[in-house]
């Protein structure tokens, strides 16, 4: 390629996001820099700063992508869409499946999610995730209860991740059922 000619690479931005997620998964958020993302994506350093002016911009893109998993699982769950299915049972089962699956992925999602505590730029994405989860549940319940279910599932997930305690599906079903019970 002649000097000064840009190579057409429409997937470069996505490769950088994927690389950032891998870096955070391996080294934590503290290990992520434009340089580490560029090295992992095998792109020039200038590519990361071209697509993501700040590290927070890169973290926002990574968080948005990482959070799609659980929200999509909830939105696509046939059990959650079926009004005949007990919602507490379906949510407890879904949460158990997610925690029993790729635990490293769940840890990564929550590490990025909790980074919003210290990085205000991430807060809007964290809020979007909560809203998407609640919106996926509102066909089965009212908006306030949907938000409460998301908060309870977040809490249970954090307890499992932080304490290495095994996920207790019957307990989760009981607690979620309490949230769903009319006052």
List the CATH number of the domain containing 85.
1.10.357.10
Over residues 150-172, the mean pLDDT reads 94
* 58 lies in some domain: no
- pTM equals 0.82
46 and 68 fall within a common domain: no
Q: CB of 24 within 8 A of CB of 112? A: yes
The 3-state DSSP class for residue 39 equals helix
Over residues 69-84, the mean pLDDT reads 78
| Spatial separation of the C-alpha atoms in residues 56 and 36, rounded to whole Å | 14
Q: CB of 67 within 8 A of CB of 113? A: yes
Sequence length of the chain is: 183
* 59 lies in some domain: no
What band does 50 get if pLDDT is binned at 50, 70 and 90? Answer: very high
* 49 lies in some domain: yes
Return the pLDDT at 109. 84
Residue 94 above 50 pLDDT? yes
Closest by CA to 153, choosing from 90, 86, 77, is: 90
Residue 33 above 70 pLDDT? yes
Return the pLDDT at 3. 54
Sole residue written with tokens 């954090």: 158
45 and 75 fall within a common domain: no
Q: In percent, how much of the chain has pLDDT > 90?
A: 56
């Amino acid at each position: 390629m002649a000097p000064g000619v840009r190579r057409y690479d429409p997937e470069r931005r996505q490769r950088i996001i994927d690389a950032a997620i891998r870096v955070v998964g391996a080294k934590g958020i503290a290990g992520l820099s434009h340089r580490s993302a560029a090295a992992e994506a095998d792109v020039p350093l200038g590519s990361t700063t071209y697509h993501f002016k700040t590290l927070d911009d890169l973290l926002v893109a990574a968080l948005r992508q990482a959070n799609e998993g659980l929200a999509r699982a909830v939105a696509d769950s046939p059990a959650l869409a079926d009004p005949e299915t007990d919602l507490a049972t379906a949510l407890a089962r879904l949460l158990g499946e997610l925690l029993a699956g790729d635990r490293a992925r769940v840890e990564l999602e929550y590490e990025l999610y909790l980074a919003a505590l210290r990085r205000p730029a991430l807060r809007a994405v964290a809020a979007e995730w909560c809203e998407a989860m609640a919106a996926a549940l509102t066909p089965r319940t009212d908006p306030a209860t949907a938000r409460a279910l998301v908060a309870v599932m977040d809490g249970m997930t954090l307890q499992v991740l932080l304490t290495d305690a095994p996920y207790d599906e019957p307990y989760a079903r009981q607690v979620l059922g309490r949230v769903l019970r009319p006052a």
